[in-house]
A and B are shown apart, each in its own frame.
Chain A
Amino acid sequence: MNSMFKYLGVSIALYSAVTFSAAEDEYDYFSEPPSTVAISGELIGQFRNFKDHAERDSQSNTNVSLAFEPEFYYEFPDSKDSVIFTPFFRWDEADSERSHGDIRELRFHHVASDWELGVGISSVFWGVTETVHLVNIINQVDGVENLDEEDLLGQPMVNLTLVNDWGNLDFFILPSFRERNFSGRDGRPGTNTVISVDDAIYESGAESKRTDVAVRWSRSVDVWDVGLAYFHGTSREARFSEEAEYGQNSFSLNSYGEVELIPIYDVIDQVSIDVQATFDAWLLKLEAINRSGQGDRFVAAAAGLEYSFYDVAESGIDVGLVVEYLYDEREFKATDDDLSLAIRLAFNDISSTELLAGFARDLQNESLYYFIEGSRRLGDSYKVSLEVRGVSGVENGDPLIALYGDNFAQLELGYYF
């Protein structure tokens, strides 16, 4: 608790210092000199409080963490070429695995009249649905950041985009593979089963040095936004097994005598489709994948709709409703036959106050995953956000059991520059 107060104290001091200095040049809106390298970024303090007592002595019920992500951007005078560098650092009080650094972006980008080329470390997002991100495959998930799989590790790539009347064609060459990072045994949530951070089993003899490839066609016509993609390479999603795989043991015992699962990375082929149709205030969404190489060939899909009521009762508030059905042919997948419901409130006020709350419930058992996310800007440079995540009614056979006993609330204060 002490560290929390310390952290809040520092934040408040920092907040007041910056607020007062900003007030002085209030009317000098265009005063910034044109700088050659544009620097921006964020510094975010995070406090987590877990509802239930920790299972291990080394774990804690509260946790403080700090993340820093500056961005350096340079655009060449011809405005066709640019370079971006975005390092990322996180320090975590309890979990040495969560304390980590990454290069999110280090990329040279060239724009021509009918093509674009990006070379270096970068991030790519594909997909339309909100609850799961099935078709998003270029980058590895930064697994220690949050449970929503929306933080990605920087991926080295060469990305050529051909711009045509019949849509965009993206080619990716992905030299080298990033292993997913998992919370350590001192961390929470999701560490009921410990995952080995030192070992990984690869199907490819090149292991993490294998070069993967992907291609994607995407087009927007009228109300439709469509993407078709093919990926051949090492699966970003790890598999776990109780048997030996590729001639190696798929688990080991750590120095505490606990079983540690070793992530298995198969070489897969995946085709995917993502579609959104936008009819007035209705958004209709579909994502589907067909993957082979990771056990039996399987299909997974997410389909849903989103409807927004704007300016409800002249309050200025928008209310959005999201319904999604999640399907996965694989056994031991949390989202195998689930229905998710969420409500989104946008207050459209000066502080950009937003609230998102929802759950995904298994249709075959009682397992439920819920989340609440709220945020609000403070002044010009700060944002406070509150999150609650957890599971309830989890049955033993459901993979959500990994999160059992780790329900938590999270408070963040971010400084943006």
Chain B
Amino acid sequence: MSLTHKNTVKLASILTIITALLFSWSSHAQGVDAEQRGLDIALEADKRNSGFVDSQEQMVMVLRDKRGKERARKMRTKSLERHDDGDWGMTIFDQPADVKGTAMLTYSHGLEPDDQWLYLPALKRVKRISSRNKSGSFMGSEFAFEDMSSFEVKKYTYRFEREEACGELTCFVSEWVPQYDNSGYTRTVIWHDQQEYRAQKIDFYGRANKLLKTLTLMDYQLFNDRFWRPMKLEMQNHKTGKSTLLIFKSYEFGVGLSERDFDQSALKNAK
């Protein structure tokens, strides 16, 4: 009797273990599936965005406080696509007038810290700066430096969550978890439309799974018959009630920029 009981207990525990194993295996398989699908969506979106070789943009940032008071910032950006490493970028500030002529050069490296130089026109000085400041505010806006940096696949891990309607379109919803150091986010949730893999909305979460900010990407236009780009982006900060509107005047692709347009001499003469 005691033996039988013992055996029953043993059998029950073995069954429990097997069930647990089976369950965990299947959920693991689902996890792998979801991760693979999340990665595939990110890769497809990246593929559709790459091959632009180089680009230049003109934009206005409208900083809006809680009471709706606005301040405008104007800048120009140039980017050079790099295949062996992260992209190169130059940002030239035109407004406010006291920072006019200030320019920033960035060689991004994915998981490694970026190389970054700042040109200060009043002193004619080029300063190498730390790129650790990922979560800090860009120009006093609701965009953080990491929101403005170039996308590299290895910067996140991915997980497909679900499909759902987003406006008139249907979207893939995936979770991206930053893998680079010093991010201000624990995770982000991103909506890509199924038609063109364009990012439509991004939710940014901080510690304790708190929703910090929401980015909405609007007015997509097709350039060079190939590249979809949003003409308007709005970042809403849920913590402070402040928001920033980023309006693009133009995108130009394949304008013939070279490495020489992204060195320290070019930084000094950026204007």
Partner-B contacts on A (CB < 8 A):
26, 29-30, 38, 40, 42, 73, 75, 82, 109, 111, 113-114, 116, 123-125, 127-128, 150, 152, 161, 163, 168, 218, 220, 225, 276, 278, 280-283, 308, 310-311, 316, 318, 348-352, 377, 380-381, 383, 414, 416-417
A198 to chain B, nearest CB (A): 30
B97 interface hit (Cβ, 8 Å): yes
11 A-B pairs within 8 Å (CB atoms) are namely A30-B249, A128-B128, A225-B128, A280-B113, A311-B135, A350-B65, A350-B140, A352-B99, A352-B140, A377-B96, A416-B100
The number of residues on chain B lying at the interface, defined by a beta carbon within 8 Å of a beta carbon of chain A, is 45
A220 vs B263: C-alpha distance when bound (angstroms): 10
Contact assessment for A42 and B247 in the assembled complex, using a CB-CB cutoff below 8 Å? no
Across-interface contacts of A280 in B (CB, < 8 A)? 113, 130, 132
From known contacts A82-B271, A111-B269, infer whether A380 and B132 are also in contact, taking CB-CB under 8 Å.
no
A22 to chain B, nearest CB (A): 10
Q: Find the residue from A283, A349, A350 having the highest chain B CB count within 10 A.
A: A350
Contact of A73 among B63, B125, B271 (CB under 8 A): B271
Across-interface contacts of B140 in A (CB, < 8 A)? 348-352
Contact of A124 among B124, B258, B266 (CB under 8 A): B124
Question: Residue on A with the closest CB to B69?
Answer: A350
From known contacts A125-B123, A311-B184, A416-B100, infer whether A281 and B132 are also in contact, taking CB-CB under 8 Å.
yes
B121-172, CB < 8 A from A:
123-130, 132-133, 135-137, 140
Across-interface contacts of B258 in A (CB, < 8 A)? 113
B252 interface hit (Cβ, 8 Å): no
Contact assessment for A283 and B128 in the assembled complex, using a CB-CB cutoff below 8 Å? yes
From known contacts A29-B60, A281-B130, A283-B130, infer whether A377 and B136 are also in contact, taking CB-CB under 8 Å.
no
The contact string, 1 if C-beta is below 8 Å from chain A, for chain B 237-255, is 0000000000101000000
Contact assessment for B265 and A163 in the assembled complex, using a CB-CB cutoff below 8 Å? yes
B186 interface hit (Cβ, 8 Å): no
From known contacts A123-B124, A281-B130, A308-B130, infer whether A348 and B97 are also in contact, taking CB-CB under 8 Å.
no
From known contacts A278-B128, A348-B140, infer whether A380 and B269 are also in contact, taking CB-CB under 8 Å.
no
Contact assessment for A416 and B96 in the assembled complex, using a CB-CB cutoff below 8 Å? yes
Contact assessment for A311 and B136 in the assembled complex, using a CB-CB cutoff below 8 Å? yes
Across-interface contacts of B271 in A (CB, < 8 A)? 38, 73, 75, 82
Across-interface contacts of A414 in B (CB, < 8 A)? 98
Contact assessment for A380 and B130 in the assembled complex, using a CB-CB cutoff below 8 Å? no
Contact assessment for A316 and B264 in the assembled complex, using a CB-CB cutoff below 8 Å? no
A13 to chain B, nearest CB (A): 19
From known contacts A380-B95, A381-B97, infer whether A163 and B135 are also in contact, taking CB-CB under 8 Å.
no
Looking at chain B's contact residues, is the secondary structure mostly helix, strand, loop, or mixed?
mixed
Across-interface contacts of A276 in B (CB, < 8 A)? 128
Contact assessment for A161 and B136 in the assembled complex, using a CB-CB cutoff below 8 Å? no
From known contacts A163-B263, A348-B140, infer whether A417 and B132 are also in contact, taking CB-CB under 8 Å.
no
A356 vs B233: C-alpha distance when bound (angstroms): 34
B72 interface hit (Cβ, 8 Å): yes
Contact assessment for B63 and A350 in the assembled complex, using a CB-CB cutoff below 8 Å? yes
B226 interface hit (Cβ, 8 Å): no
The contact string, 1 if C-beta is below 8 Å from chain A, for chain B 50-89, is 0000000010101101000011101000000000000000
A201 to chain B, nearest CB (A): 30
Across-interface contacts of A220 in B (CB, < 8 A)? 115, 117, 128, 264
A377 vs B71: C-alpha distance when bound (angstroms): 12
Contact assessment for B72 and A417 in the assembled complex, using a CB-CB cutoff below 8 Å? no
B77 to chain A, nearest CB (A): 15
Across-interface contacts of A29 in B (CB, < 8 A)? 60, 62, 72, 74, 247, 249
A311 vs B99: C-alpha distance when bound (angstroms): 22
Contact assessment for A113 and B260 in the assembled complex, using a CB-CB cutoff below 8 Å? yes
Across-interface contacts of A352 in B (CB, < 8 A)? 99, 140
Identify the 9 closest CB pairs spanning chains A and B, nearest first: A416-B97, A29-B60, A416-B98, A125-B125, A310-B133, A125-B124, A348-B137, A350-B140, A281-B132
